[in-house]
Structure 1
Amino acid sequence: MTAHRGVSAQSALAIAGAKLLLRPLIALYPVRSWTFGPMALGEGLANLIGWMPDDVEVDRMELAGVQVERLVPTTGDLRTDVAICYYHGGAFLAGGPATHRRVAAALARSLGVTVFNVDYRQLPDVGIGTSVEDGYRVYRAVVDSGRYRQVAVGGDSAGGYISAKVLELAYLDAAQAPAAYFGFSPLLTPTVEDGDPRYDIDDAYLTAGKLRGLREFFDRGPVDPRGHDDATEISPAAFPPALVIACTDEMLRVDAERLHARLDGAGRLCDLHLYEGGVHAFPVLAGATPESEQAVQITALFLEAAFDARLQHRAA
């Protein structure tokens, strides 16, 4: 485990803004089906603004019936046989490829690889079993295309859960295993019980109580969940080299530490980076703070090492 000390001015500003604006709003926002619609407005606004990277080509396409954005760097060397499936966060009900295009583009640019930014279905239309199935179908389509010898999976928050479940389903189906896993503040334990330690953390804007309220919507179907509800209980044998990044003062630090302890105890490689202070899923800010820029660099180096190690293993 690596501890990162110190809080930059940019990060301190993000923390203050989250506590002043987001936390009161989320605390007052009712968890009801009819309130989920406005949560999806962020993706529409991001599409309206239409930010596009200058050095990464972005194409909208469909894979296995699921909408994705494919991001391919247009400068530098491209590793044509390597890809990443990225799953955005948003509590299974908000966000999308447009809101997470910056981090997807940063990974594509840093590694010189193709990134598939997955637009999986969300609440309230479907439950998380369907969200996971969409993510898994995209992964299998990328792997089965024969174009990519190595495919890593990862995401932030709810996307960290989906990518972990993709690992599990590939393991259960004896399919090709991902080359690596990475999670930015991954939401790995979706069920909140009485006495959950996440209640005791003074998060900048997330609350365990709201997550507990969402739980009743997670089993909506139409695809029934497979495997473990708690992704920290997935067999360690399903995990390739794993990287988890979180903040010390966020409630999902507990999820990150649980996964690290389980994998480390089983002798599986899992690098955990904890940043002092910070806001949930801060790497998604992709360069807006020194911490987010460093986190993306750490992720790129980790994935590059995982890809190269796998190539060496195959060649041996």
Structure 2
Amino acid sequence: MTLHPRIAEVLRHLPPPPDGPLDPVAIRATEETQVPPLEERLPLAHVEDVTAQTPSGEVPVRVYTPLDADEYGLLVYYHGGAFFLGSLETHDHVARSLAKETGLKVLSVGYRRAPEAAFPAGLQDCYGAVRWAQENGETLKWDGTTLAIAGDSSGGTFVAAVAAMAHDDGFDRITHQILFYPSLDLDFDVDRYASLRDNAEGYGLETAGLKPFNAFYLDSGADPADALVSPIKRDDLSGLPAALIVTAEHDPLRDEGELYGERLKAAGVDATVSRYAGAGHGFVQHFSWIPEYHRVFEETRDFLGR
């Protein structure tokens, strides 16, 4: 189907990107101005900022408790933003919706970002945070069962990489991985996937913008040939946690996400690929207020409850 009309209307009114090199500080500041005030956010039983003590140092974590209970399953969430954007604030509404719809306690990770923090700092923070969650299960009132990881866009990259790191380390407590329109191949050759050409322009994220937006991460030492940078390049995907991979019809990154899902299935992993018609990249962050796309949180709940 064509791009959803309400998304198309928003995109029509977006200002053109600024000329010249990208300024991460300026772009972040603009993004933060779009965060709604606290009183307008989805209410939950408790929201608390804590510090996770990890091997890579202190990592800010925002803990979302959907309701008062004796124990909870846990979901560790990594925000997107091309490895240099996004924050606990810009994705606060996503974490709140995940907590409300799944009933899990959500831990949103404020990992270090490029270019200030070189690879693999952010990835280490993400992996350290999920290990910290398991180690502090009693304090978090973890029920000892569900320990899921989820992320959107570059956060989805970290999900796949963290799942692989945990498997290789023999850390088998991660039960589910949820990847919303993930970036899984940071080799942006436009001939690698048909969606890079089919969805190149006019849908928000454009293929021509992939290299400059990811340059801060790649220039910090992230090698696209490394399977922790481009998880689709991992040879053996067997033994990884059950996966839900959500893609968007009009996303340049659509095909790599769907191929990854097929490769997981071929390796014997319980993997579900779910394509959202009429959507473009970023719809969970920007357009989940549209009922057709808010359903992604319900699908996540159902996947976690299987």
Question: Smaller-chain TM-score range?
Answer: 0.7 to 0.9
Is residue 89 of structure 2 the alignment partner of residue 129 of structure 1?
no
1:12-45 deviations in Å (ceiling 9; x for gaps): 2123322x244x634x55444xx11112125532
Displacement, 1:285? 4.4
User: For residue 265 of structure 1, what is the aligned residue in structure 2?
Assistant: 266
Q: For residue 111 of structure 2, what is the aligned residue in structure 1?
A: 120
Opposite residue 44 of structure 1, the aligned amino acid is E
| 1:72 match | 65
SS where residue 250 of structure 2 aligns? coil
Whether the 8 Å CA contact 2:74–2:105 is kept in 1: the answer is yes
Give the structure with the higher percent helix. Answer: 1
In 1, Cα distance between the equivalents of 2:205 and 2:284?
16
Q: Which SS does the other structure have where 1:167 is aligned?
A: helix
Q: CA RMSD in A?
A: 2.6
In the other structure, the counterpart of 1:311 is: none
How has the CA–CA distance of structure 1 residues 55 and 228 changed in structure 2, closer, same or farther, with 3 Å as cutoff? closer
Alpha-carbon separation, structure 2, partners of 1:38 and 1:14: 25
Query: TM-score under structure 1 normalisation?
Result: 0.82
In the alignment, the residues of structure 2 paired with residue 103 and residue 156 of structure 1 have an alpha-carbon distance, to the nearest angstrom, of: 10
Structure 1: runs of 5+ lacking an equivalent: 306-316
Alpha carbons of structure 1 residues 193 and 278: separation in structure 2 relative to 1, 3 Å: same
Deviation at 1:218, TM superposition (A): 2.0
Alignment of 1:56-205 (within 5 A): 56-64=45-53, 65-74=58-67, 78=69, 80-147=71-138, 148=142, 149=144, 150-193=146-189, 195-197=191-193, 198-202=195-199, 203=201, 204-205=203-204
Identity of aligned residues (%): 23
TM-score normalised to structure 2 length: 0.85
Q: Which residue number corresponds to residue 213 of structure 1? A: 212
Distance change (3 Å), C-alpha of 1:215 and 1:107? closer
Which moved further from structure 2: 277-286 or 169-178?
Answer: 277-286
Distance 1:217 1:98 in 2: 21
Report what 2:254 is aligned to: 253
* Alpha-carbon distance between aligned partners in 1 of 2:5 and 2:35, rounded to the nearest angstrom: 28
Which residue identity does 2:49 align to in structure 1?
R
How many residue pairs get matched? 291
How far apart in 2 are the matches of 1:111 and 1:54?
15
Q: CA deviation at 1:292?
A: 1.9
The counterpart of 1:40, out of the listed 21, 24, 28, is: 28
Asked whether the 8 Å contact 1:85–1:154 carries over to 2, the reply is yes
